[in-house]
Amino acid sequence: MDAAADLTGARYAALGTADPGQDGLIEIRAPGAPAAGAAMLTVPIHVQDEEFGTLHLAGKETFTTEDEQLLHVLAVQAGIAIGNARLYEAARQRERWIEGAAAVTTALLSDGPAADALTTVAERARILADASAGVILQPTEEGGMEIVTASAYDDPGDIVGTTIAPGSPVLEQLLGGEPVFVDDSATDPRMTTRVRHRFGPSMMLPLQAGGRLIGTLALPRRRGDRPYTSVERLLAVQFASQAALALVLADAQHSRELLAVFEDRDRIARDLHDLVVQRLFATGMMLESAQRRSGSEDVRETLGQAVDELQSTIQEVRTTIFALQQPPADAPTTFRGRVLRETAGAAAVLGFAPSTRFTGAVESRVPEQTADHLLTALRRALAAASRRSGVSRIEVTVDVTGTLPDGRDGVRLTVHDDGGTGDGGTGAGTGTTVNWQAPL
């Protein structure tokens, strides 16, 4: 503007730009205001065949043809400069999005849980899009979608769990693999979530790869923020496509790793069963034979104790074999698996793993409600043992072969440690024993 005013002798210069956020209204920037009725020269500025704005000159009695030609030249040069600046900014944006997609792919293909992978996508996309939140939605059993993870400047806790009801127009587009662009989430009738009033411009992008819809990436901005440009929309769609492919690859890699773990565990379990258990059993039989032939009472007693220790060891090895056959990352569903998870969890506090043994058909005989009560009692007993001094060994036994004092069949839990006597247990020799039982 200053150059145009100086070269033409105009006292006032103004630039009117089309504001996309105000439906094409003109925003005037000028150092002063011309008098009413003064001569004015106006020339449009075009950027890549698109009208960017208008250059206005005033404050001169008359404008000559040379002034008009000069202003046209300046407008063309301004259009070229603005176009180059736009291309440079678009290139920088594209570079940032490409680098962001590569970083997401690298992060997803590293070892980590699925929930962390979704959070990585949401957070990186939020930063790249300069959005107030990055949100991942996944389909629900009812046919809608639910926000399963969110990254936001503020606490995203109240956003997670928000749902899109089945049948929503937005949902139909997303399930069909189409992106949805919204100018104002608070007023757009297609937006029906309870948090829509917080946000303005928004993009909702399907995370789809190989015909499989993983979920939706939503990138809302605050109300009043600038809308997304066509370049930002294109780059975000490309990012969502690459992120979806990375999620699929990460899931496949995780499945392959789990399969390798399962195969390794199966091999170890077979070796334990075929070699170790059989050898221990054969050793026990030899000791029992020697016990019967021995003429010394002390030797027979010592051999009997050795046989008992071998039986306990065999039981522990079988428990280990069962634990190896459980999925390492999933919560156990069997009663044995749940008991072993409790004892394994206590190892972090105790500094050692408790010994665990099962007697009888515990899977088929212990009902769900009784199992829950037993696990609660086990958890309390282990916690109490961790607070006692001198505990270096804990033996956990679950027995369903005995009867209760009233004659009914029952399950008995015994937790014995070698530490000092504590509350809730009865000392038996050295250490503390906690007993719990319930009818079956």
CA gap 357, 365 in Å, rounded: 16
User: Residues 130, 221: contact at Cβ < 8 Å?
Assistant: yes
Q: What is the pLDDT of residue 425?
A: 43
- 23: three-class secondary structure by DSSP: coil
CA gap 434, 424 in Å, rounded: 7
- 199: three-class secondary structure by DSSP: strand
- 215: three-class secondary structure by DSSP: strand
User: Residues 219, 126: contact at Cβ < 8 Å?
Assistant: yes
Q: How many CB atoms lie within 10 A of CB 371?
A: 19
Structure tokens at 159: 């956003």
Q: What is the pLDDT of residue 332?
A: 58
Domains, the chain, in order of start with CATH, read: 2-92 (3.30.450.40), 110-247 (3.30.450.40), 333-440 (3.30.565.10)
Structure tokens at 249: 């690859």
Q: Terminus-to-terminus CA distance in the chain, angstroms?
A: 91
CA gap 402, 23 in Å, rounded: 82
Q: For 158, list phi and psi in degrees, rounded to 5.
A: -80, -5
Per-residue pLDDT of the chain (440 residues; tens, 9 = 90+): 566 666 766 767 777 776 544 444 344 444 555 555 567 778 888 877 777 778 777 777 677 788 788 888 888 888 888 777 777 777 887 888 888 888 777 777 776 555 577 888 888 888 888 888 888 888 887 888 888 888 887 765 577 888 888 878 788 888 878 898 988 888 888 887 888 888 899 999 988 887 778 888 999 998 888 888 888 898 888 888 888 888 888 777 767 776 776 777 777 777 777 777 777 878 888 888 888 877 788 888 888 888 888 777 777 776 666 666 555 555 556 788 888 888 877 776 777 888 888 888 888 888 888 998 999 899 888 888 887 878 888 999 999 988 888 888 899 999 998 876 544 444 444 788 999 999 98
Helix (H) / strand (E) element for 433: namely strand 432-439
Q: What is the pLDDT of residue 245?
A: 84
AA letter at 29: R
Best CA proximity match to 240, nearest among 122, 389, 95, 149: 122
Detail the DSSP E strand segments found in 199-342.
199-209, 212-222
Best CA proximity match to 121, nearest among 219, 243, 5, 236: 243
- 384: three-class secondary structure by DSSP: helix
User: Residues 324, 340: contact at Cβ < 8 Å?
Assistant: no
Q: What is the pLDDT of residue 414?
A: 93
Q: Find all residues with CB under 8 Å of 72, minimum gap 6, and list them.
A: 43
